[in-house]
A and B are shown apart, each in its own frame.
Chain A
Amino acid sequence: MIPAAFDYVRAGSVEEALAALAEHGDEAKLMAGGHSLIPLMRYRLVTPGVVVDVGNLNGDLRGIGVADGTVSIGALTRHSELEHSAELADACPMLAHVASVVGDPAVRHRGTLGGSLAHADPASDLPAAVLALGATLVARGPGGQREIAAADFFTGFLESVLADDEMLTEIRLPVSGGGWNYQKFNRRAQDWAIVGVVVAEDAKGVSLVNMGSTPMRATAVEQAVAGGASAADAAAMAADDASPPSDLNGDAEYRGHLARVLTERALKAAGIA
Chain B
Amino acid sequence: MTITDENAGIGSRMLRKEDGALVTGEAKFVDDIHVPGELWMGMVRSTAAHARIVSIDASAAKEMPGVEAVHTGAELAAMELWVAPLPCAWPVTDDMANPPHWPVAPDTVHHVGEIVAVVLADSRYGAADAVEQVVVEYESLAAVASIDQAVADTDHAHTDLGTNKAYTWAIDEDPEGTQAAFDAAAHSVTCRFEQQRLIPAAMEPRGVVAVPSPMGGDVTLYSASQVPHILKVMAAATTGIPEQKIRVIAPAVGGGFGAKLNINPDEILAITLANRMGRAVRWTESRTEAAGSTHQGRGQMQYIELASDSDGRLTAIRVKIDADMGAYMMLITPGVPLLGSFLYHGVYETPKFSFTCEGWFTNRTPTDAYRGAGRPEASYAIERAMDMLSYEVGISPEEIRRRNYINGGEPFEMWENPAGISFDSGHYSPTLDRALEMADVAGLRAEQQRRRDAGEVKQLGIGLCTYVEICGLAPSRALGGLKYAAGGWEHATVRLLPTGKVEVVSGSTPHGQGHETSWSQIIATKMGVSPDDVTVLHSDTALSPLGLDTYGSRSLAVGGVAISMAAEKVIEKARLIAAHQFEAAPEDVEFEAGSFSVAGTPSKSVHIQELGFVAFAAHDLPDGLEPNLQEQVSFDPPNFAFPFGTHVAVVEIDEDTGGVDLIGYFAVDDCGNQINPLIVEGQVHGGVVQGAAQALYEVAVYDDQANITNPSLMDYLVPSAAEVPSISTDFTCTPSTTNPLGVKGVGEAGTIGSAAAVINAVVDALRPHGITDMAMPASPMRVRQAIEAAKGGAS
Contacts and interface: CB of A to CB of B under 8 A. Distances in A.
A44 B129 CA distance: 10
A189 interface: yes
Contacts of B697: 187-188
B723 interface: yes
Contacts of A191: 714, 717
Interface string A169-197: 00000000000000001011111001000
Given A5-B125, A185-B657, A254 B785 contact: yes
B709 A189 contact: no
A170 B128 CA distance: 38
A269 interface: no
B781 A2 contact: no
A188 B717 contact: yes
Contacts of A258: 657
Interface in B429-458: none
Contacts of B243: none
A2 B657 contact: no
B286 A1 contact: yes
Nearest to A190: B720
A190 B784 CA distance: 22
Interface in A177-225: 185, 187-191, 194
A261 interface: yes
A171 to B, nearest CB: 27
B197 to A, nearest CB: 14
SS of A interface (majority): loop
Interface in A210-257: 247-251, 254, 257
A1 B710 contact: no
A132 to B, nearest CB: 21
A188 B286 contact: no
Interface residues of A, number: 24
A163 interface: no
Contact of A187 (B129, B289, B710, B717): B717
Contacts of A248: 701, 709-710, 715
B656 A261 contact: yes
A43 interface: yes
Given A1-B287, A43-B288, A261-B656, A188 B781 contact: no
Contacts of B720: 188-190
Contact of A188 (B127, B289, B722): B722
Nearest to B285: A1
Contacts of B552: none
A108 B368 CA distance: 39
Interface in B689-746: 697, 701, 709-710, 712, 714-715, 717, 719-720, 722-723
A184 to B, nearest CB: 11
Nearest to B656: A261
A9 B306 CA distance: 68
Contacts of B286: 1-2
Interface residues of B, number: 30
Contacts of B715: 247-248
A4 interface: yes
A5 B722 contact: no
A261 B127 CA distance: 49
Contacts of B637: none
Given A1-B287, A2-B128, A189 B710 contact: no
B40 to A, nearest CB: 10
B179 interface: no
A183 to B, nearest CB: 10
Contacts of B125: 2-3, 5
Contacts of A188: 697, 717, 719-720, 722-723
Most chain A CB neighbours (cut-off 10 Å) among B124, B288, B657, B779: B657
Contacts of A254: 781, 784-785
B780 interface: yes
A190 B697 CA distance: 14
A258 B722 CA distance: 22
A114 to B, nearest CB: 23
Contacts of A257: 784
Nearest to A185: B657
Contacts of A44: 132
A190 to B, nearest CB: 7
A185 B659 contact: yes
B712 to A, nearest CB: 8
Interface in A14-49: 43-44
Interface string A41-71: 0011000000000000000000000000000
Most buried by B among A1, A190, A257: A1
A187 B722 contact: no
A236 B115 CA distance: 51
B288 A1 contact: yes
Contacts of B701: 248
A1 B125 CA distance: 10
Nearest to B699: A248
A243 B728 CA distance: 44
A254 B659 CA distance: 12
Contact of A251 (B132, B657, B781): B781
B656 A249 contact: no
Given A1-B288, A2-B128, A187 B709 contact: no
Nearest to B286: A1
Most B CB atoms within 10 A — which of A43, A188, A190? A188
Interface string B751-795: 000000000000000000000000000011100110000000000
Contacts of A3: 125
A250 B128 contact: no
A191 B716 CA distance: 11
Contacts of A2: 124-125, 127-128, 286
Interface in B335-376: none
A99 to B, nearest CB: 18
A189 B784 contact: no
Contacts of A187: 659, 697, 717, 723, 779-780
B203 to A, nearest CB: 15
Nearest to B716: A248
Nearest to A264: B656
Contacts of B709: 248
A261 B656 CA distance: 7
Contacts of A261: 656-657
A78 to B, nearest CB: 21
Interface in B35-61: none
A250 B714 CA distance: 15
B118 to A, nearest CB: 16
A248 B697 CA distance: 11
A250 B781 contact: yes
B722 A189 contact: yes
A211 to B, nearest CB: 15
Contacts of B714: 191
Contacts of A189: 720, 722-723
A43 B287 CA distance: 11
A194 B779 CA distance: 12
Q: Which 6 pairs show the lowest CB-CB distances between chains A and B?
A: A189-B722, A2-B128, A1-B286, A254-B781, A261-B656, A250-B781
Given A1-B286, A188-B719, 14 more contacts: A1-B288, A1-B289, A4-B129, A43-B712, A185-B659, A188-B697, A188-B717, A188-B723, A190-B722, A191-B717, A248-B709, A248-B710, A248-B715, A250-B780
21 contacts: A1-B286, A2-B125, A2-B127, A43-B288, A185-B657, A185-B780, A187-B779, A188-B717, A188-B719, A188-B720, A188-B722, A189-B720, A190-B720, A190-B722, A248-B701, A248-B715, A249-B779, A249-B780, A250-B780, A261-B656, A262-B657
Interface of B: 124-125, 127-129, 132, 286-289, 656-657, 659, 697, 701, 709-710, 712, 714-715, 717, 719-720, 722-723, 779-781, 784-785
